[in-house]
Structure 1
Amino acid sequence: MATTENTAGGGSFDDSPTRARVAEAILRGGPSTAATLAEELDLTPAAIRRHLDHLVADGVLEPREQRVNGPRGRGRPAKVFALTDAGRHQFTHAYDALAVEALAFLRDAVGDDAVRSFAAERLEPLRQRLAERLAGVEPADRPAALAEALSAEGFAAGTSSTATGAQICQHHCPVAHVAEQFPHLCEAEAEMFAQVLGTHVQRLATIAHGDGVCTTHLPLSTEPVDPEKVTS
């Protein structure tokens, strides 16, 4: 049975254990509907709506239109709630510090190559998922398909055309604070893009380096990838 709560009054994210649970559920499971969250956390629809309203007002969550694969049914898609950068930062700050310490230890104990290997291995599951999404897609359509796949993974990506190819812009980076000190993570991501696209890519900007978005240039050429030519 769904539980009810006394949620009168304001309160911030840090003052509400239940709202923290709501945000943590979205952190684990990604953008979620109110109905899904209510069922997962055993809350009434009214209670979950109050918590979601507070979290949106506090800048921790933002409502988005739910992505629908295939034909849409009647009516508007259910609204989903996703963590904002500010909301995610409340969870990741301590983990970022720990990750930096761990990578610094790995670099000092084994060397930069070990950090590069870790960065590539960390992205391997994502590379496989992206490769599956792009399988059979024509070369000219791959940038848009990659951006859509990245958005589904939470990177808020989009594409734009240029005279020499296309650009992918990612408006969210979950490891930006760590990559600021260990650009190996950005380099590994660029190499992964080259692998799934089957073409050379070039990083033009990164959030980790202080830019507003991560921008990757995708030339028109579809020649086989030479890992030595992948730059970031």
Structure 2
Amino acid sequence: MKNVGEARETPTGAPQEELATGERSTRNRVARSILDHGPSTVAELAGRLRLTQAAVRRHLDALVADDVVEAREQRVYGARTRGRPAKVFALTDCGRDAFDQSYDALAVDALRWIARQEGGEQAVAAFARARIADQAKAYRSAVESAAPDERTEALARALSADGYAAAARSAPLPQQGEQLCQHHCPVAHVAEQFPQLCEAETEFFAELLGTHVQRLATIAHGDGVCTTFIPAASKKPPPPEFSNATRNASASKAGRNPA
């Protein structure tokens, strides 16, 4: 990751270069924690990084000033509790760019070219499916080797190895299922213009886990985290290969915010 932000004040008598380096290092840790865990409160960041809340606020102020993070109200899924939603800090597009997202312009140009050829949007969708199929071997191996109730977690670990900073967690009502949360998307800027990438990924998750899944949110469409709901009934073994069999599973709205 590129260094984000600069030290703004140097206490009198302290070595300026050393303090600036320490400030940047801690600031990078704050930004990285938000990347790995999604939009976070000051208290959550302080707990994870073992810093005081005052120190976290100071670094967040600098990151906000540098357009690396932004403050927003915490999104609540399901019934709201009383009181105002907590303020959370999320990475901006500029902040995500600092984590070595590259070749976006080239990828968009290539997909636009494909869309103009015979087949148009269907050709883009076919490319998206072929792309995820090329990545399928490692994901399938991870899921197949896991116990039925640990498959979502196994998939999250495999996705994290590819840079998606993924995690599995219980849904708001645990008896209903789980949520697969991807806190980073290396192709988010491209997916903004070509949602077929998100749709193909969702189709693949459904096929791999052997159940209907539902994409609740995506980074490409302005959410802090890509969130996929996986119902508790997901106990079937994954199918032997990625095919057309389950492409109707939630594909119609995958990668798009629900209405």
State the partner residue of 2:149: 140
Letter in 2 for 1:122: R
Which residue of 104, 107, 122 corresponds with 1:96? 104
Is this contact kept in 1: 2:114–2:123, CA < 8 A? yes
Letter in 2 for 1:230: S
Is this contact kept in 2: 1:166–1:218, CA < 8 A? yes
**Do residues 115 (structure 1) and 155 (structure 2) align?**
no
Is this contact kept in 2: 1:134–1:146, CA < 8 A? yes
State the partner residue of 1:229: 249
State the shift of 1:176 in Å.
0.4
Q: TM-score under structure 1 normalisation?
A: 0.61
Secondary structure at the counterpart of residue 101 of structure 2: helix
**Do residues 157 (structure 1) and 177 (structure 2) align?**
no
State the shift of 1:88 in Å.
6.2
Is this contact kept in 2: 1:156–1:171, CA < 8 A? yes
Residue identity (%): 48
- Structure-2 change in CA distance of 1:166 and 1:103 (3 Å): same
Structure 2 residues not aligned, in runs of 5+ = 4-20, 34-90, 240-244, 255-259
Bigger fraction of residues in helix = 1
Is this contact kept in 2: 1:56–1:62, CA < 8 A? no
After superposition, give the CA deviation of every residue in 1:46-87 in whole Å (9 maximum; x if it has no partner): xxxxxx979746749859xxxxxxxxxxxxxxxxxxxx9867
Which residue of 184, 197, 220 corresponds with 2:209? 197
After superposition, give the CA deviation of every residue in 1:183-204 in whole Å (9 maximum; x if it has no partner): 0000011111122212211100
Is this contact kept in 2: 1:59–1:87, CA < 8 A? no
Secondary structure at the counterpart of residue 204 of structure 1: strand
**Do residues 125 (structure 1) and 122 (structure 2) align?**
no
- Structure-2 change in CA distance of 1:219 and 1:55 (3 Å): same
Q: TM-score under structure 2 normalisation?
A: 0.55
The number of residue pairs the alignment matches comes to 166
State the shift of 1:226 in Å.
2.8
State the shift of 1:166 in Å.
0.7
Which residue of 181, 198, 201 corresponds with 2:193? 181
Structure 1 residues not aligned, in runs of 5+ = 1-11, 14-51, 64-83
After superposition, give the CA deviation of every residue in 1:119-144 in whole Å (9 maximum; x if it has no partner): 11112232111101111322221111
State the shift of 1:104 in Å.
1.1
Secondary structure at the counterpart of residue 193 of structure 2: coil
Secondary structure at the counterpart of residue 92 of structure 1: coil
Instruction: Tell me which of the two structures has the higher relative contact order, counting C-alpha pairs closer than 8 angstroms and 6 or more residues apart.
Output: 2
Query: Residues of 2 paired with 1:147 and 1:125: CA distance?
Result: 18
Query: Residues of 2 paired with 1:118 and 1:55: CA distance?
Result: 40
Query: Residues of 1 paired with 2:24 and 2:130: CA distance?
Result: 35
Query: Residues of 2 paired with 1:174 and 1:89: CA distance?
Result: 9
- Structure-2 change in CA distance of 1:101 and 1:133 (3 Å): same
CA RMSD of aligned residues (A): 3.2
After superposition, give the CA deviation of every residue in 1:75-106 in whole Å (9 maximum; x if it has no partner): xxxxxxxxx9867625535x212211211111
Letter in 1 for 2:113: F
Tell me which stretches of 4 or more aligned residues in structure 1 moved more than 6 Å.
Answer: 52-55
Query: Residues of 2 paired with 1:216 and 1:185: CA distance?
Result: 14
